[in-house]
Amino acid sequence: MLSTSSRRRLARVAFFVAAFGALILLLGPFQGLDRAFPLGDKAAHATAFYILSLMSYLAFPQHRRSDLAFAAIVLGGLSEVLQHFTHRDMEIGDWIADAVGALAAFVPGWMEAARSEFRGGMPDRRARGSRRRRSPVGGLADLDAPERGAVAVRRLATSRAD
């Protein structure tokens, strides 16, 4: 089994290979290639940015998904501007499709985070730096009850021996 760092490295390599491939397809001399995609040009743009956004979430877990989605939307707009300089059609509709794809990847995670927050879940609160509930056993809230009890008994025995 791969270690966490190896999986992250693999995810980054896969992301950059896919991003480079998308860049070549978006900026290269492939006018009309989108007709090969069965659902059309806009669906191809949305699908590409959906997949790239999901891959970026795996490749860069230390960054917020909202920042990665925003970066994907900005890069989609930049690719449309660059297409103008490569003698291809620059369309606002393609950029909107890019944004729809990036948001389609972002919104479900955002909704789940909001749902967790409404239920009183801790992961999002910790990320924003809110106060963590302190355990009466000296900050061992992550341990299960038997482990906390064993640590408390050891601490009590150590403090009496001193």
pLDDT tens readout for residues 73-94: 999 999 999 988 887 778 899 9
Cα 43 to the chain's mean position, in Å?
A: 21
**What is the pLDDT averaged over residues 40-60?**
92
- For Cα atoms 83, 84, 86, give the angle at the middle one, nearest 5 degrees: 60
Residue 122 has pLDDT above 60, yes or no: no
Q: What does the pLDDT read at residue 59?
A: 94
* Amino acid 10: pLDDT: 95
Look at residue 38 and tell me whether its pLDDT is greater than 90: no
Q: How far apart are CA 79 and CA 83, in angstroms?
A: 6
Q: Which two tokens stand for residue 119?
A: 């239920």
pTM: 0.67
pLDDT at 64 > cutoff 50: yes
What dihedral do alpha carbons 152, 153, 156, 161 form, nearest 10°? -140
CB atoms near residue 106 (< 10 Å): 21
DSSP 94-130: HHHHHHHHHHHHHHHHHHHHHHHHHHT-SHHHHHTTP
Residue 4 reports pLDDT greater than 60? yes
In angstroms, the first-to-last Cα distance of the chain is 46
**For residue 136, what is the DSSP state?**
T
Using the structure block, give the residue that is written with the tokens 């482990």: 147
Please give the backbone phi and psi of residue 154, each rounded to the nearest 5 degrees, phi first.
-60, -40
